[in-house]
Structures are given as C-alpha cells and as structure tokens.
Chain A
C-alpha cells in the first residue's frame, strides 16, 4: 500500500503500524436530542477488510460518514495514519468512498471520472493517463473508457466507481453498501471482484452493509452495530460461533434462542425446560438466553438438553433440508438436516436435542 507522496511524515511509518491504520476514539454524533452514534472506539490495521454490519438506523452509515468527514463529529477523534484528522475537511483526508449509488459524474466520461481524483491532486497528465489505463484494466473496462456513465449497466457503473476509488490509492477505502442496487447474481459476482481487488491492492477497506451473508463472505473482521453503538467486534467465525448477545445471534445466521433465568448452578430455566449450560459458562447478564444454531440440533435427545415440537413446515434447499417446528408456547424451532438425515413428516411430533457444548450462553 503506497500512500500519497505529499503526506509529510513518511518517516513515521513504523509508528503507524503500531497505532493502527485507523484509530477511532470515543467518536460520537448527536443531532439535537437524537443520538446517531454513541461514543465508539475502534482500531483497524493496515490491509484489513472490516465490515460495519447492522440494521438500518444502527449508526453504521453515520460512523462511515464521520470517518470520511462528510459529517462532523460531536465528540471523539479520528486518527488516520497516526494523525488526528477529526477536524480535517473531507477533501484533505486522503480517503476513498464508494457510494451506494456510485455517484459517478454524469457529465464526464468513464476515463474522466477515474482521472478526476488524480487531477485534483495535480498529477502530471502522462501519469494520469497511465494510471487511468491501469485502473480500467484492473476492473476489465478498458474498452469503455470513452463512454458516459448512463451508457453503462449497473454492474459496469459499479466497477467504474471502484476504479475511481482505487486509482489514487487512498489511505483507507470506505464502501457504503456498494452492491445494494445490484441483483443477487451480480452482487455475488462483484463480491468476488471486491475480494480480488482487496487482495491485489492490499488496501485497507471499511465496508458498510446490512447483508450478513455479504459481511461473512468478505470480511476479515465484522463490527456488528445496533442502536447507534457497537454490539460486537470480531472475526466472522467469532461472531457466528460465539455471539455475545441475542441480537448478534439473531442478526447473523439463523438461531434458536431460548430466554430464561439462570439458576446459579450451571443451568437455565426456560419455558421449555431446564437446560444444562455449556461447560465453563460465565455468569450471564440480566436477560440470559441460550442460542443453538439449526445445524447443531439433532432429532433425538443426546446429553439431555431437548425440546419438543410439532413439524409445521419443511423447506427443501438442495444441500440441506430445513425443518420448522412449532413449540408449545407459540415459538418456533428451526433444524437443518443434512442430505442423509431422515426427514420427519408435517404435523409429526419431534424431539430435538443438542450437545451441551454446542449451545452458547448470551446476555
């Protein structure tokens, strides 16, 4: 990752690596009485792909806008490359932002769009020509250089937006739901494309999405957000296998969640019975619950933890079969059966159990 040569303190590179590429300290944004982002702290290392994931209104876009300077923070600091840039105007931050609807300039050609950031930095025109060409080749759009954005398909416009961002090698690249406007097939294709660009350029990327599958597929780490604050920060595997809250468990993947009361003795009293907690479970928070992923539920009752229900729906999905069962209290249970498992019939009463250590105790 090369940085702009006009960045003055190139000598402090070693220090930067220690401090992290991007460090956010107590960053917060309030609009009058409403809080768009509670004071939050976060550190991103060089070359990392971090995803801000959360439902709409969770503060992820606000955090992104605070990082790039489109919105001014109420409190806190944004440190990029070891320099406090909290009060730096947008155009001096050396940050790249890929917009949700691409924000390509309609009056400029594809090549001119990509050249724009280089021109703003006063690069010599020979260098601009070369780098634009390279960037176009990188996103496989060399033949469309002279077209105008409206003459391109959505996927092509998205590639131009990516090229316009990668071409000037900003310190950090931010992406605001960049694939939100594309259909599913194209979205999956572009995910692979973004992964490749990330790998090839070594760029530090912060990616915003509300799509958990996208987050799992792309990220080195996921920053899960809810109610204007960071809910959990960790690797995709971390968050999937060890969610810390019921929200985290519910938002990422499918979960069976049983709320209950901790009896102080390694078990949880729930409406469906007393369940033995995983070994070594710490004393939980105020509203404890256990989470069991559908693939960990087995028909039958190993180790004693089990619930009973009546099969209400069977969804065949090729590599797996999803069984939905109604529980006594009106709740629902989801099981994922492998291709070799026996599938129950609709309205059949079943007992589903799980190995004690497959469950996760959440707050």
Chain B
C-alpha cells in the first residue's frame, strides 16, 4: 500500500491511490457480474415465474416435489456425491499425508502423479474406465481369459462403475486441497507430543490429525460440490438408476426446452452447494480454504471432538501395535508407502492404458491390441471434423488464457496492494465460479447467449471458458504475489521509478513465472472444458471435448483413443511447463 503511495510520489494523493489499487479488480468484477452472476440469477428467476403469464409461481417446484422421479434423482445425486466425498477422503488422506512427508525435492516429482490426473480431461478418464470396465473390457478379458471367472463381471452401467469413475476423478482434487494444510502443520508438534509421552498413534490423532481437519473438511466440501454437478461419469459409467441431477438438467434444456424446469433443478443444485458451504463456514470458517487459520470451536462440541479423537487414538494405537507384532516395526513402516503407491497406480494407470489402444491395428478396442499401427491417428488427422474441432479448441483456449490471465493478474495485483475489509470478499467472489456447479453456469449462459446471439460462436465459448478459468488464474497469481516481496516495489519507487515503470520493470519480470503458469492453467481449463461447450458450441462450431462427447455417446471407437492420447499429451506437456514456471517463480522471489 505504501509502495503505491510512495511511487505516486505525492503523500496527499495517498488516499486516492490506496483506493486506486482496488480499481484494478473492477474489470474482472464487471465481467463476472455480467457473465456469471446475471445469467445464474436469471436462470434461478425463471423457475419462480410462470412462463405463460409471467407471474410469480412456484408451480415448477410443486411439480418436482410431486414427481417421484425427480426426488429420486435428487436423492441419488446426494448419495453419489456423499459417497464420492467419503471415498476420495479415505484414499486421498493417506496419499496426501505420505506426499507431505516426502523430502521437498522428491515430493515435487511425486506430486506430478496427482497433478497429471487432476488436469487430465474427465472425458479421457471416463473413456479409460469404459475400456477397462466394459463387458469385453480389459479387466473382464483378463479375468475370463485367465479362467478366474466364467461370466464377464458386470462392472459398468451400475453404481460400482459410477463410484469408481467419480472417486478416480475426485481423489486428485481432495489431495490437492489437503496438501497445503498438511504442509502447514509444524512437524515439531508431533515430536513434542511424543517427548511428552504420547505414543505415535496418540501423537498422530490428537495433534496431527486434529490440525489437518480443516483441510479434510475443505477437501470433502469441494469434492461434494463438484460431484453434485457431475454428468460425464454417470452418463457413461452409470445406468438408468445412477442418473444424476446434471443429466436431468441437460435433458430438460436440450430435449424438452423446458427452461423454468431446468432453472428449478439448477436452483436446487446451487442451494445444495451453498448450504454445504454455509455448513462448512459455521464449523471451520471459509477462510481455511484460502489458507487462513481455523477457528477454534469452544464448549461442548469441542470437548466431544477431542474425546472422539482420543477414542480413535486408542483404537489406532491398539491396531498399530497389532500390525507391529504381525509385520515387525520395519514391516509396518511399509504400509503407508504401499497404500500411497496403490493409490497412485489407481490414479495413473487407467489413463495410460489408453495409449497402446490408440496405436492398435484392430478395428475394435481390444486389449492387448493384436498389432500396432498409426491408422487411427491417420483417421483423426484426415477427418476435417476432428481437425476443425481441434483448431477451434486451441484458438478458444488461447484467447481464454489471455483474458483469464489478464483479469486474474490485475485482480491479484489489486488484492495484494489493498488490505481493506473488502479484499476477502472480492477474493471469495472471484472464486465463486469454482463453487457454483458448472452446469448451472453453462445453462445460465446458454439462456443469456440465446438472446444476444452468442450461441454457437467462438466469442461465446471464450466468454464462458474465461468465467471458469478466472479462479485458477487468480489463485495462481495470488500465490505468486503473496510470496513477492512488496518492499522491492518500494525500493524501485525510492529509486525513482513511477508506478508503470515499477510494474513493467520490477514486478512483472519477477512474477513472470506465475503469469506463464496462470496462462497455461487457464489454457488447460478451457482446452478440456465440456459443460459449456455442450450448450454453447453447436453444429459445426464444435470443440474437441464436445466432439469426443458426441462420439462417445454414439459409439466407442479407436479414433477416440487416438484423440484421447492427443488431448492427454497436450494437457500434460502444458502442465509440466506450467509447474516448472510456477516453481521457478516462487523460488526466485
């Protein structure tokens, strides 16, 4: 703040300039107000008015309440989202714990085993599971081939398939959310507990686990909310009985054109997400997601919590002494790494299995391929449909990345230079597109764009993707600016640089890595985005994920494997470059 004042050179103008920093956030605020808040609000409003008379009416909600199917779908959605959150935490926690204990250098490399699945397109991941779990899929052909079972197991189009796909998609998010919290826990506290007489099990549960709980809750919340709006996994891996709310919304909009009804369903999904957020905020405080310290509860609830933890500690202590007796001290030390590696195999291997299939010489997706060749890549590159979609995806992603990085960068700069009580609120507002289910944003934008002629245009796609990419760009830039030493700006100012020269000569060169990372993360977000593309890109103006979605609905074919490999390679390369830039930027400052 004083940097801004000093570089202005006039103390009298300090007040105006202090506010001036926040002005940098205004373009982003306007953009989100018009393309995020307005369409979502309008969609929700639709559900409250009678479409014919235009008068307020709760008829749609009455219809939902009266129809068994909708209530059932709502129940299924909550159940699947809840179980997904639970299993993602059970698998993610040990993995995150193991990662957080690795030496720094080694951890960076291991983290890629989580980052790559995190950014890998949901379509590619789902496609991989279809190949793995199908009736004539890899697992079944291995099982029947080896004589383990006579009949192919039914692994797909049921709840098992959906859960596998959902958990696989969500574990990386859970791990990435828990890791920063775990990294922030002072290891000496666990040592201190042990010198004070706590067994390793007690030290873990009473101290470490307790301190990691805000991360666990944040991860559970984010996974739950993301799962609520999921449709790719249940559409391909589930059966009729696993239909989720988002699928229902798509049907209402695309096939029945029933806007009020879609609005009402979206409102219910949004309400569920907001209620979860509110509940989380009551218990832990939302600021913990952004890395703040957790509120400490008082009174009865806290006592009960601590009592539960010591109960857990006692059980875990008994278990660990049992395993130590069975496996020896050395042997039981391998349990955690073994579990972590199993989790990594679960995350990474399905996607990798797609690669050999892309090079198959067969007409079918059989595993192992009878022979290898490039014919399916040739099919892909010779198809004008696929190539146009690919070019469009690259172009849209490029434009999105520029827009999102600019908005995210200016906003991050504004927030870094201002310490008013508004900045926390503004930060939360910019993260909102991450919390509100994508399907709600997509349907809202579709309704808005339909009336201003932006449907089936590249501009419409870019706008929609920018809304989704802004949180990623902002979080990346905010993290870099947070570690950026503001005194360097002050130093530049005392040495005679004005604000613009300080920005271009000092700040930007130093945060360049963060800018590149924000650009690439935004790029990836747009490149494998499907939800908005389903509604906004129509006909020939299709993107790569949309084309994949259409193909996957029609029929699985080896071209999809080839396309998956292309998408996977593009995203992975971008991610590796982004990670390199991000780490170099944060280590240099």
Enumerate chain A residues within 8 angstroms of B296, measured Cβ to Cβ.
106-107, 148
Q: How far is the CB of A146 from chain B (nearest CB, A)?
A: 9
Q: Does B570 contact A (CB under 8 A)?
A: no
* A-B pairs with beta carbons under 8 Å apart, 10 shown: A89-B200, A91-B194, A91-B199, A95-B195, A97-B192, A101-B186, A103-B191, A106-B296, A117-B196, A120-B197
Enumerate chain A residues within 8 angstroms of B277, measured Cβ to Cβ.
none
Residue pair B207, A105 in contact (C-beta under 8 Å):
yes
Chain A 304-336 interface residues, beta-carbon cutoff 8 Å to B: none
- In the bound complex, CA of A95 to CA of B202 (Å): 17
Instruction: State the B residues within 8 Å of A (CB).
Output: 186, 188-189, 191-200, 202-203, 207, 210-211, 293, 296
Enumerate chain A residues within 8 angstroms of B192, measured Cβ to Cβ.
97, 99, 103, 105
Instruction: State the A residues within 8 Å of B (CB).
Output: 68, 70, 89-97, 99, 101, 103, 105-107, 116-117, 120-121, 148, 150, 164, 168
Residue pair A121, B197 in contact (C-beta under 8 Å):
yes
Enumerate chain A residues within 8 angstroms of B191, measured Cβ to Cβ.
70, 90, 97, 99, 103
Partner of B198, one of A96, A97, A106, A120: A120
Residue pair B211, A107 in contact (C-beta under 8 Å):
yes
Residue pair B196, A164 in contact (C-beta under 8 Å):
yes
Partner of A91, one of B186, B188, B189, B203: B203
New A-B contacts (13) at CB < 8 Å, excluding given A70-B191, A97-B195, A106-B296: A70-B194, A91-B200, A93-B195, A94-B197, A95-B195, A101-B186, A105-B189, A106-B293, A107-B211, A107-B296, A120-B198, A120-B199, A148-B296
Residue pair A103, B186 in contact (C-beta under 8 Å):
yes
Residue pair B198, A101 in contact (C-beta under 8 Å):
no
- In the bound complex, CA of A105 to CA of B186 (Å): 10
B191 nearest CB neighbor, chain A only: A70
Known: A101-B188, A103-B188, A107-B296. A116 touches B211 (CB 8 A): no
Residue pair B188, A68 in contact (C-beta under 8 Å):
no
Residue pair A116, B196 in contact (C-beta under 8 Å):
yes
Q: How far is the CB of B213 from chain A (nearest CB, A)?
A: 9
- In the bound complex, CA of A89 to CA of B199 (Å): 9
Partner of A117, one of B186, B197, B199, B200: B197
Q: How far is the CB of B4 from chain A (nearest CB, A)?
A: 30
- In the bound complex, CA of A107 to CA of B203 (Å): 13
Enumerate chain B residues within 8 angstroms of A105, measured Cβ to Cβ.
189, 192-193, 207
Residue pair A168, B197 in contact (C-beta under 8 Å):
yes
B313 nearest CB neighbor, chain A only: A120
- In the bound complex, CA of A70 to CA of B191 (Å): 7
- In the bound complex, CA of A97 to CA of B191 (Å): 10
Enumerate chain A residues within 8 angstroms of B194, measured Cβ to Cβ.
70, 89-91
Known: A70-B191, A103-B186, A103-B191. A168 touches B196 (CB 8 A): yes
B213 nearest CB neighbor, chain A only: A107
B329 nearest CB neighbor, chain A only: A89
Q: How far is the CB of B369 from chain A (nearest CB, A)?
A: 46
B201 nearest CB neighbor, chain A only: A91
Enumerate chain A residues within 8 angstroms of B200, measured Cβ to Cβ.
89, 91
A97 nearest CB neighbor, chain B only: B195
- In the bound complex, CA of A94 to CA of B198 (Å): 11
Partner of B188, one of A89, A90, A95, A99: A99
Enumerate chain A residues within 8 angstroms of B202, measured Cβ to Cβ.
91, 120
Query: Which residue, A89, A97, A105, A150, has most C-beta atoms of chain B within 10 A?
Result: A105
- In the bound complex, CA of A117 to CA of B198 (Å): 7
Residue pair A96, B188 in contact (C-beta under 8 Å):
no
